[in-house]
Structures are given as structure tokens and as C-alpha cells.
Structure 1
């Protein structure tokens, strides 16, 4: 539906930012004594052009590793509210109840939880259940905590579910465990590739029959690492991943499923486009999508020109992360591939440059603002069409703050307590900043051109709805001065465009502001602000 001419829209969404200098600060006009109007602004010029389009978003997500297995089962007083924070799109009296994730990544555990201490995984919170019993049958009553989160996600409107595997089932591994001692090679027994593929497809079939939209199965996670301690996992060569993908493709077809296979899950972006460390498990795009390669899978029915990677280790500086993301984008375009970013948390390469204050001095908001840098460059430079955070919730140990989580959990007895014993929880700024994207940029929205003189302290992207009736722009302001967007276009009126902003900062959690017809749009200092233009 085209509500009015895009040429007018381009004009209407061209803004001049009122500037200030050491010689004086311009007065900020009164707008109904709105307490949210900041006192200081700086100069910027932004132009949004809806006719110039890029990738269409498939979703924003997070994973259920590892704590939801316990929270969903035993935190009975808190779990419903926690799921609302993640999945709800409802806005009540100007306050979003949650961040409206549109993808939920579900771990297909290897069964190390059933092994207990014999699993070799010291932290029980890093062991995972499976649906397979000792006699090889399926028990769909297992994985209770994960099933709770899946059911609540579906109930609250999450449209897409992705199943992913860190390790093959312990019944099928060479050492009988979920962690590996096979080095760079797969821990999966040579004669069990078809068995494990059947298991993954059977789980997808079960949940599809239960009404879940299982869009993808990711059979291998970060194959560039050996995973010999700490959690479930296995190394894999490209040829071994391809062998499993072929078996999974056959099993999905046999089950009559439309579910696709999500390949990659590379430990960082560079593994996708160049030889890094071992040749046998890097340069992944060329290995999987070059006809004639021993690992070629581009002709499989359920592999639909898609590859994914993780944003770890390549995000320490603004220029560095942009260079890497441009490289992976170019390689994906060359191979005609859609690109997804399927895992990020602030693991990184030390973040010791002058661009970050350091872990000790950082506030939780500093960490969330840095995340917005990574998200912005993944979305606008790598041009990913899906972006997912790693752990939706966890216990913040050892001064990690919110580097690895969206929701901070404190079990009964404190951070060192038993995760199975319900305690308290708290939404952190990483949740709300992710929500600046996930709540408002919905599946089917397309990125459109936003032109401005961006830098590492002020940047943004713009998106248009499938119907063409709404534009969403997300701005990050990492400076200590607020920015005011002043409408200088002729013909602008509240009858054609209504505007709301949603701001996340140290003191605001996606706080809504309705912009008056003759009012101005602000981006607070040290904030991420979503501007929603309703074109009607």
C-alpha cells in the first residue's frame, strides 16, 4: 500500500540537526514541558530514502543456552515474567513489556545432563538434556525447561524457531560424551551420521506437528574449535559437516518438512571467507558453495543459499569490524548467499582500544552501547538479514556484568548458588538495546538508505515495513551530548506522519515519547533511540 509519494517522503525525512559550540548553546524550545527534552544538542544531517533498498530482515533472536533449562522448570514464580521480557511485543501505557524477539534458538542437547558428573562437564548448568532415552526411544516429556520457553514464545507471538546442535547425541559420539577428544575431527561415529541426522529431523517433525514454525536446523556449532572441555561441543572439518548436511537433507525430505539447514555457525566471520588456522575447517563459503568441491552442498534441497557466522573476535575497533564485515559481505555476494549473524556477546578480543572504557570501568549501558556498534555494522556493512544474541539469560559471575546475557539471574544463595533454585532476575540494558531493533524491525521489513556523516559515536539505520506504511530508524548516540532532529521540510504535517520515539539509556528502558505535531525528535546522549514514523 502506497500512502503517499516517496519523493515527498524523502523530503519529509530529511533533517538538519541544530548545532552548538563552545561559544554558546542554542535554546531548546518548550514542547509542552516534556521532561524528556534534553538541554544540549549537536549538528548532524540525515536523509532517509525509501526508494533505495537493501536486505529484508528475517528476524532478531537469542538462544536458550543454558539457563532456561532450569528457569523454565523450577523458577515457577518468575518464569512467566521473564518470558514476557524476551517475547512480548505489547506496549502498555507507553512502556513495552518486552523486546518482541522474532526468532528463538533452541539447543538440541547431546544428553550430557543425564550423565551427570560422568559427562566430564564440571558445571551442571552447561550440561544439556536430549529427547533420546537409554533404549533409543524418544521421550517428549524431557527438556521440560526448554519446552516451557518454547511454548511461551509461541503463545506470545514469536513466529520462527531454529534448532541448533553443539554436539551429537552421546549415544552416537566416539567417546560417549558431549564434549570431544577428537581434536579437529568430528566426535560423531562414522556409522552414525544418518542416525544423528534422523534424530534432528525427528525433533523438527515433532515440533512442527505441535504447531511450531521450525524454519531451520543448524547441525554444527563453531566447528573451528575442538571443544574438549567446559560444555558440549565438537570440532568438525568442512567435509564432515557436508557429510552430515547431506544426511540431514535426506531425513528432512523423508519427513516431508520444509525446514532448511543453517550451515556455518563459524567461530568468527573470517573463517567464512579465508583460510584461517586449519584449511580443512576454514574458507567455509568456498568449501560449501563451489561446485566440484569435496564439501559442496549448494545443490541440496534444504540448503537455500544461506550461510551464518558469529561476530566474536572481530569487533574490537570500529574500523576493524567494518573491514571484516565488508569482506564477508563481498564473499557472500560473490557466492549469491544470504548472510546471518547467529551469535554474539561481548567475548571479543580484549576491547583494549581507546574506543571502550574497559571492563572494570564500564557500566552496563557502556556494554549495551558497544553491542549497538556491532549490530549496526553487522546490519549495514555485512548486511545480515538475521541477528541473534547468544545467551538470553545467565548468572553474571566474576564481574562479567551484562557482557554475556540479556537477563541477569541470581539464584537462591547468590551468584555461586544452585541455578536450579529460584532467586531473582533483572533485565539489563543489553536486553533493551536489542529491543530497539527487535521490537520494531519486524520480519519482512527492508533496510532502506539512510545517509549521514556517521562515525563510531553516532550512527543509524532505517527500515520500511512490507506495506510501506511505517518507517523505523534506529540511532545510537555514544557521545555525551544529545542530538535534536529538526524537521525543515515543507508540507510536513501530523496528518501525513505521526512520530514516536523509544529510548534506551542508563535511566530509560525503551521509554516511549509521543512527538507533538510541531515538536522535535531527540536522540539522548549515551542512548539508543528508535524513531517510528507512522505514514498515514
Structure 2
């Protein structure tokens, strides 16, 4: 459908008028993009990543190394040349541990990096010296302007689990929680929220008591902390936790359900009905055993993870459209709260081996685009902020100390590509619809998304600034121009991330509306109105 002109596709945002030979004539491109400033979509909340599990060690490294990591993740400052120092995450996701670290090898979790400490002692008392490295990063985030924090749990404390472990070893698909420990569990959650605020001055605005309770793959063996649960068990726990929060006059929001797979949210997928149809179970009044729509402290919001729904490309779009249809039917919001590269992501070689290049960065940017545009995610969150030799971290750690208390870190193009969104699209921004038209000015459905070429999304921040993110997935340079009739002859600052050394949100030029912009092959640009 797109004609190639001089080996470059000319893409217009809005309607571009070009002066030719002393006169003006209207350009008629193959495809034109128009930013629909009067057609708002979802209101954006936060971009985020989690501290699991690396920050338990990184947060105890020498201070200058902690500060470098914190600047990369949280800073909204620019250097003397106007280049961002970091990606400006606006929420930080904190893993509340279940106690596998104290169990050591007896936890059956092989890697110390995947174990976690627990604030709760076996005798019911609390040790507020636990999880110190992670708590240090809570403070580092707050110092750099982050004021929203989400606590999540992979497992209840080992003192409350049926098998005495933080993994689901040897069990089925029901909650690894003793029947007489549900109320103890919710008291623990409330105590943690209040305890961290009292000792660290950090308030958890959100808490999710179950992470991937529908996980058909994750709880088979003892790789990491994890706990399944049926919808009925989740609802029972959330109702008890709501009651506990109300009794303590706490306004922390209780989130559900951190699904491991979008398909479990609106149907079943490798689980039975007891762990599927989650949107309907929690937010349809007919689901009397599990309905949470009238539960205090529970927003009308569902959480899910992008894993396993990224291939093939047709499903990358279709699954998100199906998810959005069900969310709309029940008037429920949506946050994407976790993803990384997995074995099904064969286009970039699967998850093994850390990748600092644009290959992974562009692949993830395409997922971000689809989650925001088609699933209408209001928040988008990566899995681990720091990881090892796997494509699950924004930053790569290399430990040089036998006790994991020192080492070095490297950034990645993936981190900076997330920054093309997170650094500029701030909480409260409204996504604006983008329309596409062909040469006859006929509307092209989904024309803002060429999965192998240009993908464009637009936003308006609370302060009135506009942000446009354009991904060029293609192997050749492309050109586009922007024209926003309703905001006049806007001046735009262009920030680019590419495989070139130093091109990490690099401010490359300014341009006025209507002027041609070149976007190099395999790169991402963010345009911010000045």
C-alpha cells in the first residue's frame, strides 16, 4: 500500500503544505498521519520497573555505583547539553519477600539472586533490618522525584504456606497458604505497608497480594518464589485485606490480579475456569463468589503481564484487541505491570543472553506501542531493573565480589528505548488518537501501526506539552513531518535513541511543524513540544 519514493517513505502527520518554485502546493503522500487532538484515549499513569531481585545486593554496593543506577532509572534531569541523565521512571515496584533467603538452599531455589528475605520472623515478630538493599533503592527513587510505589508478593511468608516453602513445589493450582493463615497474611501485608512508611518514609500507594496466580509455567518447579491461586482464593484474600485496611484507616489501593498471560484475563489459557475469565470474575456483579467491584480500596482496574502474547505479530495485535473489548464491556482499566523477553520471542533469539543493542530495544518498543495503543494500557512496567546474562534486565550487572556486594553495571539501548516513553510521557498525560489516510484521503484502519516500519503514538501532558513517539523498525531511513493545526507552528525538540554510541535520548535537533524529519533505520525518536 505504501509507495517508496527515493528509497524513503514520506509520512506526514497532519496535512503538510510545501512551497515549490515560489508558490505553494499541497503534498499528497502515500500515507498521512493526523493527530486527533480532540479525540483523547486513555489517561496515562506510570512507567516502571521492579527491584526483583537484584536490588537486595545492588542496594548494598558502594554509594557511587548505587547513585549511577538510580540516576539511570529515575532521574528527570538533563546534562549541560540537554541530554537526559536517566529515563525518569515514575513508579517503583517493590518485591515483598517471603523468606526464601533465610532458608538458603533449603528453600529449593538454587540462585541466591532469586531468593528474598522476609520482614516476618517465625515467632510473629518483625525485623525491620530486612530487605535493606531494596529499601535503599526506595529512598534513592524518592530522592529523584518518584512518589508512587507498588508492593507485590510472589508468595505469602513461608511461615504461612502449606509446604513451608516460598515456591509451589509438589502442589497444584490452589493457593499455597494454610487455611487458618488468610487473616494472618492480610495483617502481614498491612503491617508491611505501615512498617516501611514508619521506618523509611516511603508509602506504598498500591499493593498486589498475588503475582501471576494463573501461571501455568512458573509454579511447576522451584526456580523462584511463587504461588498460584484460584479466583475465589484471590477474592477471599482481597476482601479480607480491604477489611483490614479500612479498620486501620489506610488508603493503599489493592490491585488484582497480575495475570501471567493476557488470555487468562478474558478466557482460559492452559488453566481451568477457576483461574481464567478474571475480568468477568472480579468485575461482573453476576460473579457473586468473586465480585470485587464494590470492595473498598479496590480500584476498577486489572493488572496483567505481556509475556507469551507477543508472537506471532498478528496475535500481538489481536490478543490486545480482545483484551480491550472485555475490559470495555466491564468498564475496567488496565495496567501492564511486567514483561521481559522469553523463549517465544524467537525473532531476537529468545531470552538467553543479555543484549545491549537496538535489536531487543526495538522489539520491546513495538510491544510497548501495542500494549498502549491496542490494549490501552494506562501504565507500562518492565520486569527487572537489573539482571544478569538474560534479557530480563534494563541494566546488566557484573558482580566482582563473592558475596555479591560489589561489581559494575552497564546500561542498554533497551533501557533508553523505554526512556523514549517514560522520560517524556508523565503521569496524567492523555494519549491522543492518531488517524491515517491514503492518497485519496481515505481512512486506513490501524494506519498508525506498521509493525515492520513506522509506529506512532501521541500524548498531551498535564503541563500542556505534546509528545510524539515514532519507532522505525525498518532497515532503512524514513522521513515524516508533523503539523498540528490546533497548536499552531509548534517547535519540537527531537530526542533519538539508536545503535550509535551516545545516542541515548540524544537531543539531535529542533524542528517546526510541517518540516521533514529523517528517522534513521532501526531507531526511535521522541518529539516534545517546546
Partners in 2 of 1:435 and 1:366 — Cα distance? 16
Counterparts of residues 200-349 of structure 1 (less than 5 Å): 200-209=189-198, 210-225=200-215, 226-276=219-269, 277-293=271-287, 294-347=289-342, 349=344
- The alignment partner of 1:96 has SS state of coil
Q: Does the aligned pair in 2 maintain the 1:515–1:521 contact within 8 Å? A: no
- The alignment partner of 1:228 has SS state of coil
Would you say 1:483 and 2:478 are equivalent positions? yes
Residue 172 of structure 1 deviates from its aligned partner by 0.7
Query: What is the TM-score with the length of structure 1 in the denominator?
Result: 0.86
* Residue in 1 that maps onto 2:22: none
- The alignment partner of 2:192 has SS state of helix
Flag the 1:151–1:24 CA change in 2: closer, same or farther, 3 A.
Answer: closer
* Residue in 1 that maps onto 2:460: 464
Partners in 2 of 1:75 and 1:47 — Cα distance? 50
* Residue in 1 that maps onto 2:493: 500
Flag the 1:22–1:386 CA change in 2: closer, same or farther, 3 A.
Answer: closer
Q: Does the aligned pair in 2 maintain the 1:312–1:348 contact within 8 Å? A: no
- The alignment partner of 1:525 has SS state of coil
Cα deviation code 1:362-397 (max 9, x no counterpart): 87311110101110010000001011000100111x
Cα deviation code 1:66-104 (max 9, x no counterpart): 111100013444111111100001111221110000111
Flag the 1:217–1:186 CA change in 2: closer, same or farther, 3 A.
Answer: same
Flag the 1:489–1:435 CA change in 2: closer, same or farther, 3 A.
Answer: closer
2:424 to 436, 440, 450: 440
- The alignment partner of 2:213 has SS state of coil
Residue 182 of structure 1 deviates from its aligned partner by 2.4
* Residue in 2 that maps onto 1:184: 173
* Residue in 1 that maps onto 2:441: none
Q: Does the aligned pair in 2 maintain the 1:326–1:382 contact within 8 Å? A: yes
2:142 to 151, 154, 157: 154
Counterparts of residues 356-371 of structure 1 (less than 5 Å): 364-371=357-364
2:526 to 514, 522, 530: 530
Q: Does the aligned pair in 2 maintain the 1:497–1:533 contact within 8 Å? A: yes
Flag the 1:125–1:94 CA change in 2: closer, same or farther, 3 A.
Answer: same
Query: What is the TM-score with the length of structure 2 in the denominator?
Result: 0.87
- The alignment partner of 1:301 has SS state of coil
Residue 227 of structure 1 deviates from its aligned partner by 4.8
* Segment drifting more, 66-75 vs 358-367: 358-367
Partners in 1 of 2:171 and 2:268 — Cα distance? 21
* Residue in 2 that maps onto 1:4: none
Partners in 1 of 2:428 and 2:486 — Cα distance? 29
Cα deviation code 1:254-287 (max 9, x no counterpart): 2211111110111110000002222211111111
Partners in 2 of 1:419 and 1:375 — Cα distance? 36
Q: Does the aligned pair in 2 maintain the 1:18–1:486 contact within 8 Å? A: no
Aligned residues: 487
Would you say 1:58 and 2:45 are equivalent positions? yes
2:188 to 199, 217, 236: 199
- The alignment partner of 1:74 has SS state of coil
Partners in 1 of 2:51 and 2:351 — Cα distance? 25
Cα deviation code 1:403-452 (max 9, x no counterpart): 21100111117xxxx47141211001110000000000000000001223
- The gaps in structure 1 that reach 5 residues or longer are 1-16, 26-41
* Residue in 1 that maps onto 2:14: none
Note the aligned Cα RMSD (angstroms): 2.5
* Residue in 1 that maps onto 2:111: 123
Partners in 2 of 1:431 and 1:53 — Cα distance? 28
Q: Does the aligned pair in 2 maintain the 1:18–1:44 contact within 8 Å? A: no
- The gaps in structure 2 that reach 5 residues or longer are 11-28, 437-446
Q: Does the aligned pair in 2 maintain the 1:260–1:303 contact within 8 Å? A: yes
Partners in 1 of 2:82 and 2:329 — Cα distance? 44
* Residue in 2 that maps onto 1:71: 58
Partners in 1 of 2:511 and 2:276 — Cα distance? 53
2:408 to 412, 424, 434: 424
Q: Does the aligned pair in 2 maintain the 1:228–1:234 contact within 8 Å? A: no
Partners in 2 of 1:476 and 1:489 — Cα distance? 19
